[in-house]
Structure 1
Amino acid sequence: MIPDRIMRKIERCLALSQSANAHEAGIALRQAQQLMQRYGLSEQDITLASVTDHTATAQAGKTPPRYLNSLATLVNSAFGTQAVYLATPQLSGTQVRWIGQWQFLGTDGASQVAAYAYEVLQRQLIRDRQAYQSGLNRRIKRATRIRRGDAFAEAWVAGARESIVPVELSPAATEALEAYAQRQHGELSSLSPRQRGQLRHHDYQAVHQGYDAGRQVRLHDAIQTPEREALGHG
């Protein structure tokens, strides 16, 4: 195993090789190349070494609902990460229960922040969705209650997206994250999130309320708090 100090030294040399000072850049590049040759490393090995992963529990089973998939996409956009959905079966008596997780991949510590941000946002989203559903007429059908709750939640994520500034990943970073994911999981299949059918006329009130609630979210304010508290509004 390559010592961390060697990996960090190579990374520093490669960074310095981009210097505007041609002499300094040349020396740094030669040092990086010598170290890489000595330890049998390629440039992709160095890039992959900067990628980390952290997981966040999803409030879902084998297949996540579309609103949680959208939430993971929002977090990826905010922190320059990529997310892989993992579902693990657990046997409970004679029944199999699936436990879902998002694995966030990122560089420079982004994966840890993204996983935490997802958990914070998910708690607030689930809480707001439940509060919305509790205010619905108790006589409506269960399917209608779920459909409107999902519509509220999807609109909530759309509203929350307004408060973020997307992080643009470089082609090299994107390639590194994809290579890391493939190294860990092999060939990944496309995720088809669960959705609850087409909206009906009276469902659009749920969309308006969800969007308004999501617009109150302040993601970056929440993740700067010293303790893992539920995300507040305002």
Structure 2
Amino acid sequence: MSDSRKDILKKIKKCLALSASSNEHEAEAALRQARALMEKHGIDDQDVLAFEASEQHAKAGAQSSPPLWEQVLSNKVADAFGCQVIFSSGWALSPAKWKFIGCGVHPEVATYAFQVLHRQCKRARAEFISDKLKRCKQATKTRRADLFCQGWLHAVSGKITALIINEREESAIDAYVAKNYPSLRDLKRRDRNAGRNLSDRECNDIGAGYSSGKNAELNRGVGGAEQIKLGAS
């Protein structure tokens, strides 16, 4: 979106806010001005609504088909901070991204949370592979490490409460997605353990991840308006 269009939308939003004034004449004048600006610049109600939302992104771990555990993490974080998340595939020199869409500071907070938890999970995964899976074949290492991550995320999920957003914010997010991503497709799940009957050893991998995930930490204040607290239990 160009800066000039952003400025116009800001003016319209300000006029619409003034249209709620208790002063009847002032409210009518503000509403007329808002409608005049919208008609002049080809802006509709959905454009105005979508302007209330924004997005921030975090680098994804795969260019086209992220592993299931990373998808789960992105969804849990999005729910925790009142956002919708979409995956944007990478190409050439442009890395794939997880895009968190929400209102206010929520996208920034969600992106930060995803980045921190993603780093912690990857670090714990690498340590688990080094300690427990050194003698396994590469495919087995990857598959069992995914189970470890599954357990890790289960532990973290137990500490996160989904943020309930109001109907206006939800509508703004939906409008933003509809305007900016009209051709979204379902993301294919890359589950390396799909359809398997897990052995006791593999179940223990999940348990090891759960134990490790209980030590996850996430503490930060954003703009003095939002606090993230996720301490070890």
Alignment equivalent of 1:151, drawn from 147, 152, 155 = 147
Whether the 8 Å CA contact 1:11–1:46 is kept in 2: the answer is no
CA gap of 1:144–1:11, structure 2 versus 1, over 3 A, is farther
CA gap of 1:233–1:206, structure 2 versus 1, over 3 A, is farther
Whether the 8 Å CA contact 1:159–1:212 is kept in 2: the answer is yes
Distance 2:16 2:70 in 1: 36
Alpha-carbon offset, residue 162 of structure 1: 1.6
Distance 1:43 1:29 in 2: 18
Residue by residue over 1:190-213, the C-alpha shift from the partner in whole angstroms, topping out at 9 and shown as x without a partner, is 112211122333111111111122
Distance 1:171 1:101 in 2: 27
Alpha-carbon offset, residue 233 of structure 1: 6.6
Alignment equivalent of 2:65, drawn from 60, 63, 71 = 63
Whether the 8 Å CA contact 2:16–2:31 is kept in 1: the answer is no
RMSD between aligned residues: 2.8
CA gap of 1:137–1:80, structure 2 versus 1, over 3 A, is closer
Distance 1:142 1:164 in 2: 33
Detail structure 1 runs of 4+ shifted over 3 Å in the superposition.
2-5, 10-14, 25-32, 231-234
* Structure 1 partner of 2:216: 217
Q: How does 1:30-45 map to 2 (within 5 A)?
A: 30=28, 32-40=30-38, 41-45=43-47
* Structure 1 partner of 2:226: none
Distance 1:218 1:25 in 2: 50
Alpha-carbon offset, residue 10 of structure 1: 3.5
Alpha-carbon offset, residue 46 of structure 1: 2.3
* Structure 2 partner of 1:135: 131
Amino acid across the alignment from 2:61:
Q
Alpha-carbon offset, residue 29 of structure 1: 5.5
Alpha-carbon offset, residue 31 of structure 1: 5.2
Amino acid across the alignment from 1:224:
G
| Percent pairwise identity | 24
Q: Does 1:201 align with 2:197?
A: no
TM-score (norm 1): 0.80
Alpha-carbon offset, residue 172 of structure 1: 3.5
Distance 1:30 1:225 in 2: 37
TM-score (norm 2): 0.80
Q: Secondary structure at the residue paired with 1:178?
A: helix
Alpha-carbon offset, residue 137 of structure 1: 4.3
Q: Secondary structure at the residue paired with 1:163?
A: coil
Unaligned runs of 5+ in 1: 18-22, 92-97
CA gap of 1:32–1:162, structure 2 versus 1, over 3 A, is farther
Whether the 8 Å CA contact 1:62–1:99 is kept in 2: the answer is no
Residue by residue over 1:56-111, the C-alpha shift from the partner in whole angstroms, topping out at 9 and shown as x without a partner, is 101122100001101101111111011110112217xxxxxx83211111111211
Aligned length: 215
Q: How does 1:94-173 map to 2 (within 5 A)?
A: 99-173=95-169
Whether the 8 Å CA contact 1:218–1:233 is kept in 2: the answer is yes
Distance 1:31 1:161 in 2: 49
Q: Secondary structure at the residue paired with 1:90?
A: coil
CA gap of 1:225–1:34, structure 2 versus 1, over 3 A, is closer
Amino acid across the alignment from 1:24:
S
Amino acid across the alignment from 2:190:
R
Alpha-carbon offset, residue 217 of structure 1: 2.3
Distance 1:132 1:176 in 2: 42
Whether the 8 Å CA contact 1:155–1:214 is kept in 2: the answer is yes
Distance 1:204 1:27 in 2: 69
